[in-house]
Amino acid sequence: MEKEQHQQYEYARRRIKQKKRLYFHFVLFLLGSFFLFVANKFFGIDVEADWYIWGITIWFFIFILHFIKVYITDRFMNKNWEREQIDRLVTLQQKKITQLQTKINEESST
């Protein structure tokens, strides 16, 4: 396999692994939420306070953060994005160095 094909394969494998973990997290969230509900309503664990709603809400917020990471952040800010940003910054630095060298050369010639 060529280097580029290997990189594409590794990227696809990593993305599939991320999505698989997200789906597992979702199923775990559903089962956990159901368990919290059952523990509160049917087993009578602190029935007066609906604590399970807070637990489910916090867990849902964590799931949303996980979803954002997988489908938004990692999708757009991957290795290609990093390379483009590094190339852009290196180009800017080289441009500034060239400008400074030109300025120094002009000052030394006068």
Tens digit of pLDDT per residue, the chain (110 long)?
Answer: 588 888 888 888 988 999 999 999 999 999 999 999 888 888 877 767 778 899 999 999 999 999 999 998 887 777 778 888 898 999 999 999 999 999 888 888 76
Please measure the distance between the N-terminal and C-terminal CA atoms of the chain and give it in whole angstroms.
58
For residue 107, what are the contacts with CB-CB under 8 A and spacing of at least 6? none
Q: What CA–CA distance (Å, rounded) separates 72 from 84?
A: 18
Q: What is the pTM of this model?
A: 0.67
Where do the domains of the chain lie?
1-77, 79-110
Put residue 46 in one of left, alpha, beta given phi > 0 → left and psi -120 to 50 → alpha.
left
